[in-house]
Structure 1
């Protein structure tokens, strides 16, 4: 197992600077953000020009990683592959294919994305649509030696009423999406706030967890008594729930000793990648990197080499 970080938390830094900092802080791998440069949500970042990625860029990126003794665990393009606007959906699929091409050029076998959802349609209608959309994307990736991993983020901000906007939030839906050829970028923070014990989900699905994200969550049960499970209704920010917030590993409710131990027990030998979305340790690069240092200090004692690597 390697300890890595998702680069999206430092959108203003280029990949060279991130790699130098990450290696110096003790990280071993980068999950590289590759959204288009226009972005969308405020934390999206473009650290690889995948839409125009040729042999020169691939060679330079590989040399950068080798110089800092880092690996690329995955490319990250988390977007709504079931977007209701057909033109926007086509743009998303084109960029996802470009991300797959870049992963092939780099020898990186994983690209992260979302299933997504059309918020105007039911879950079953979206599932039926996904069953027409994903086979071609999975085949495109497979032909290039790449597998698509889906983060189990609820993406409630994509739904006007705060309901799930990404159909990969529960084990029931994981079993369905595995049938489409998709794998899991497993994140315990989302499971925790929707009432699922993340530790209990590792053993049954270990064979489909190819990558894992380290993000914590802080719950406020008293606030939940006011807003209910689905959070605030009157809000300016669609991502504001009112009773929970993401935190750096070690500052929330997730039991990282148990999580990492269970991953080790069931043979996980991929990357545990810190996804920094902590509002306390955010806002400036200095605070973000401080948060990443806290995460590293929390996780480093638990993330150890497997016997095969030692």
Structure 2
């Protein structure tokens, strides 16, 4: 099994420098952040300029992968593909198409994205839109020998009131996604941390959707049950410190939160998962600069690597 991290957490480094760093630590894969060069998203990055990717770029990247023994587990681009503004949606769509085509050229098997939501329409109307536009993306992916995967984050930061801004965050919604588009070329980038704060049994979900889980994000979460009881299931509404501040949960690096990764890995083995296990670093305590980000990545590497290589005593 490949073990890596999402590259956008490291800033002002070339992708080759990130590959060199990953190899030095012991990682064997990278989930490549591929947002547009000009964007304002938090926790994003643009390590490959997919819209202007040349044959020479592809050759250079493949040579660096070979040099550092690093696989690209996925090209990552997460935006609201159902954005209500038609111009914004077209821009996002054009970029996702470029990411899929770049993945094909690089021999990268997966492209990660969100579904999103048009907040001006009903849930049924959103799924109708999803069916229309994602059928085209999935067809392009199939023709390109690539699979699409949806991360299960509800993106509360995209709505002023902190309510879900995607239609793809729970098992109920996954069932509808896969009913609408039954192709085996669309699945999940499974992130247990979001299921944890939503109070969904992430171990059972891991079992139930084993055939649709293409990639797993290793991200941890601290859930404060006392604050959950105070704010309630919809989360904090007043005096939020940042867009995703719902008051009762905090994203942290793996090993410093609530998830029992040894138990989680036992279920990964149980279902026969053989994809990539990839750290998604969104811990604000280790984000001031690259040295702090690396400290967080290496802490998580040292916590998870013995578990996924069965070096711990059971």
TM-score by length of structure 2 reads 0.94
Alignment of 1:60-79 (within 5 A): 60-79=60-79
Q: Is the 8 A contact 1:79 1:116 kept in 2?
A: yes
Alignment of 1:1-310 (within 5 A): 1-179=1-179, 180=181, 181=183, 182-234=186-238, 235=240, 237-304=242-309
- State the SS of the aligned residue for 1:43: coil
- Relative distance call for 1:177 and 1:216 in structure 2 (3 A) is same
Range 285-294 or range 113-122, more displaced: 113-122
- State the SS of the aligned residue for 2:31: strand
TM-score by length of structure 1 reads 0.95
Q: What does residue 308 of structure 1 align with?
A: none
- State the SS of the aligned residue for 1:301: helix
Range 126-135 or range 108-117, more displaced: 126-135
Give the Cα–Cα distance (whole angstroms) in 1 for the partners of residues 241 and 275 of structure 2: 38
Q: Is the 8 A contact 1:104 1:146 kept in 2?
A: yes
Give the Cα–Cα distance (whole angstroms) in 2 for the partners of residues 240 and 110 of structure 1: 30
Range 111-120 or range 217-226, more displaced: 217-226
Query: How many pairs were matched up?
Result: 305
Give the Cα–Cα distance (whole angstroms) in 2 for the partners of residues 302 and 211 of structure 1: 17
Give the Cα–Cα distance (whole angstroms) in 1 for the partners of residues 201 and 286 of structure 2: 26
CA offsets 1:119-168 (integer angstroms, 9 cap, x no match): 22222221121111111111111111111100001111112221111111
Range 107-116 or range 35-44, more displaced: 35-44
Pairwise CA distance, 1:43: 2.0
Pairwise CA distance, 1:280: 1.3
Q: Is the 8 A contact 1:76 1:111 kept in 2?
A: yes
Range 282-291 or range 218-227, more displaced: 218-227
Range 222-231 or range 12-21, more displaced: 222-231
Unaligned runs of 5+ in 1: 306-310
Unaligned runs of 5+ in 2: none
Range 91-100 or range 236-245, more displaced: 236-245
- State the SS of the aligned residue for 2:236: coil
What RMSD in Å do the two structures reach over aligned CA positions?
Answer: 1.3
- State the SS of the aligned residue for 2:307: coil
